[in-house]
Amino acid sequence: MKKGVHLLINGMVQGVGFRYYVHRSARRHLLTGWVKNLEDGTVEVTAEGDEEELRLFIKDMEKGSRFSTVQNVKVEWQSFSNQFRSFEITT
């Protein structure tokens, strides 16, 4: 089943290539959406795709990259909107 998810990721997740880690993971899980840094130091993600792939993607986000330290991932499930064609890094 197709679903959407909105994530807010806290920790040492800016200045360590974390958005590129998110991008690679999203593409590996065949997800669409975007990732961006927020001014408060968190990273925001909106992703859509197969629900099981989204769950695996969330596990990747909780683990983080080897250069990041993830303290918390706030997960908000959403309905599938089919509004994205790819996964992008935005500013």
pLDDT at 91: 82
**Low-confidence spans in the chain with pLDDT less than 70:** none
pLDDT at 53: 98
As annotated, the active-site residues are 19, 37
Flag whether the pTM goes above 0.75.
yes
Q: Give me the domain span that covers residue 84.
A: 2-89
Count of domains forming the chain: 1
Q: HSE-up of 24 (CA within 13 Å, CB side)?
A: 8
Instruction: For residue 77, give the CATH number of its domain.
Output: 3.30.70.100
Q: How far is CA 41 from the centre of its chain?
A: 15
Rounded to whole angstroms, the Cα distance separating 33 from 82 reads 9
Taking alpha carbons only, the member of 89, 76, 68, 85 closest to residue 14 is 68
